[in-house]
Structure 1
């Protein structure tokens, strides 16, 4: 007898799965940790060069940046003032918020604040970035949609400790919310006097001021519902799950789009068609941190040909491999190895790390769950302390492998 469910039952089950829990909780946690850590390390590495890159000593002057943003309507808090003290404050703000987002402290708030830091620096000097910066830029926006602190975060550990205990006033959250409101009000007053930043925003017809005030008010609504109205809070949970799963889908689609466009544009290039494309960057001093290794690799015509064609084939084929989980996992490992090779041979560690983290959205949940205890044991060996319990698997993660993650 057939066990196939009727179409209506399958639609109902799918709706329950999408609204009942955030899918891919481990994948979004990896995106949060990996990309914010990459951004943090980049900011710390360039600390001594920050004035030339984003500050008053850079070749792209404050006035030139102001004219450009007036045309492209990009958001950056660095253009609210050309003072050195303001620049130092914004740079330090970006460092601190990236670190707190990596740790998963007050994740919903930190995703927004970290995004402000990313946009403020990157949009100040748009010609400094590469593909890795673009990935961080996009993911900083998408992470706001996700519930990326459900596992592997200080928020998750705090929620586990408070489970079953009497509810206590969240003084830290209230103070943080109030401080953000005061800062946002001050920023809007400053924006009205120095430059306009309210007319254009992340969505058509929605300015940055409207978007940020909306997020601030949502935080208040979430707290009020959780404390005084359990039934409306359940509705908000459903909406948050829907938004999270939509954000996860957007992240996955973005990664596929990156590889598909990169692969198909390479196909149109004559150097990629004849298999010599990788020969030229291997002879550029700027992309040769290990000249002897680069020259040895470039000396083998067959190896350059195979790597050139293989790069194109992998990038073009990747979106199609999502239809088969085993093939996808194999190709995912190949792509991560490719990015490690780029980091080693071409000296692009932050680009490679950003792409590897973006690829991790397709890693199987079972693999990530095994990775957590391994990382915990490594941490305990390096920092002996009381072991923390491993967060329990949340309902729907294995389903994410079968539906979204492939």
Structure 2
């Protein structure tokens, strides 16, 4: 076999044999679900005015717009206040469960439904960060984002340990019950005619895939059908991961090249002006302090453009990429504080996290695990009686339902 053919073969094997970047996709899952969850909780007192019946962009206006652009939102199914509150509550719940990694396949779909429904209801409420969340919510559906740092991964580990000890593992009942409930809800929606043919195909397809995955895992074990499904799932995951990385590069590249064309970015004064806008000055004294130094303003202006334009080209050099990645994350953290854009910054940091080195993420995970272990150990020492087992520790492990886990 020639060298090019062998290289192609190795590449195909690599993208089909395993889901690449499990730690990176876990960070993306945690980052975006946490960002959306915090946003929903912060805006909870204002939810009616932003996305509900009291919004300036009225239900009738939203209905007319959606009739033209065919955007997806379940909030157009009814103008009832009760329906809006239900959708908002489900959006909060799905974000929290996806953050913890509970039934990540199902929660990623519900997370996408919540994001699209609220954002498409009032399209003028968003900013650049909302646009990123909008896109990433769709991509996450195709990833195996619960392989690490999730309740799904913990449940799978407990099952493996129980089987290794020769214990009898009870079959999972939560996954099939969740699948049945969502299937019944989807049937009602289909009969009511609230979904377009395209979205019906998407949701019924995802529902059928869950059923197939569960059936193969339950009755075929580790045979060829399961191997085939794993191959397809790995291929979809890796393709989605590539799209997430390409999307992040595209965001920075287009932002940088558009900035180059602006006269204020060319003369090095662009950063000065947003520091003096009331809307972007939560800390006026800090903004005045930063803008008073002309050299600092010029360096930040030119540095922002150079980092954004150069970043996509540094992916081929790990060390340079890591340096620029640290600079961009620092820049977004500064934007969150100085300009008062925390959710935009969190969304961009979550997108940047897909490029973090695996070794760094593993050390980060180990550090969090050690801190958690010390916390629980301290709590266990205060428990009365001879049984010092941590409260809530499982008596028996349950088998994860493969159709609803990573």
Fold match by TM threshold 0.5:
yes
Q: Partner residue of 1:145?
A: 142
Deviations 1:129-182 (A, max 9, x none): 011111111000001111000000000000011113555322101100001101
How much has 1:381 moved relative to structure 2? 4.4
Which of 301, 310, 315 is equivalent to 2:308?
315
Which of 298, 319, 330 is equivalent to 1:326?
319
SS at match of 2:20: coil
Q: Partner residue of 2:112?
A: 115
Deviations 1:344-391 (A, max 9, x none): 110000100110111010001011011001112233445546799xxx
Which of 167, 170, 176 is equivalent to 1:168?
170
In the alignment, the residues of structure 1 paired with residue 370 and residue 42 of structure 2 have an alpha-carbon distance, to the nearest angstrom, of 28
Query: How large is the RMSD of aligned CA atoms in angstroms?
Result: 1.6
In the alignment, the residues of structure 2 paired with residue 313 and residue 121 of structure 1 have an alpha-carbon distance, to the nearest angstrom, of 35
In the alignment, the residues of structure 2 paired with residue 301 and residue 66 of structure 1 have an alpha-carbon distance, to the nearest angstrom, of 49
In the alignment, the residues of structure 2 paired with residue 382 and residue 46 of structure 1 have an alpha-carbon distance, to the nearest angstrom, of 32
Q: Partner residue of 1:237?
A: 230
Matched, 1:71 2:73: no
Which of 193, 197, 205 is equivalent to 2:195?
197
How much has 1:85 moved relative to structure 2? 0.3
Matched, 1:211 2:207: no
Alignment of 1:5-404 (within 5 A): 6-163=3-160, 164=163, 166=168, 168-190=170-192, 192=193, 197-199=195-197, 207-229=198-220, 230-383=223-376, 384=379
Runs of 4+, deviation exceeding 3 Å:
165-168, 380-388
In the alignment, the residues of structure 1 paired with residue 129 and residue 367 of structure 2 have an alpha-carbon distance, to the nearest angstrom, of 28
Question: Could you tell me the TM-score, scaled by structure 1's length?
Answer: 0.89
How much has 1:12 moved relative to structure 2? 2.1
CA contact (8 A) 2:26 2:145 kept: yes
How much has 1:13 moved relative to structure 2? 2.0
Unaligned runs of 5+ in 1: 200-206, 389-406
SS at match of 2:141: helix
In the alignment, the residues of structure 2 paired with residue 189 and residue 282 of structure 1 have an alpha-carbon distance, to the nearest angstrom, of 53
In the alignment, the residues of structure 2 paired with residue 244 and residue 65 of structure 1 have an alpha-carbon distance, to the nearest angstrom, of 34
How much has 1:208 moved relative to structure 2? 0.7
In the alignment, the residues of structure 2 paired with residue 55 and residue 273 of structure 1 have an alpha-carbon distance, to the nearest angstrom, of 42
SS at match of 1:56: coil
Deviations 1:300-354 (A, max 9, x none): 1111111111111100000000010000000000000000110011000010011
Give the length in aligned residue pairs.
Answer: 374
How much has 1:9 moved relative to structure 2? 2.4
CA contact (8 A) 2:53 2:81 kept: yes
In the alignment, the residues of structure 2 paired with residue 35 and residue 281 of structure 1 have an alpha-carbon distance, to the nearest angstrom, of 26
Highest relative contact order (Cα 8 Å, sep 6+), 1 or 2? 2
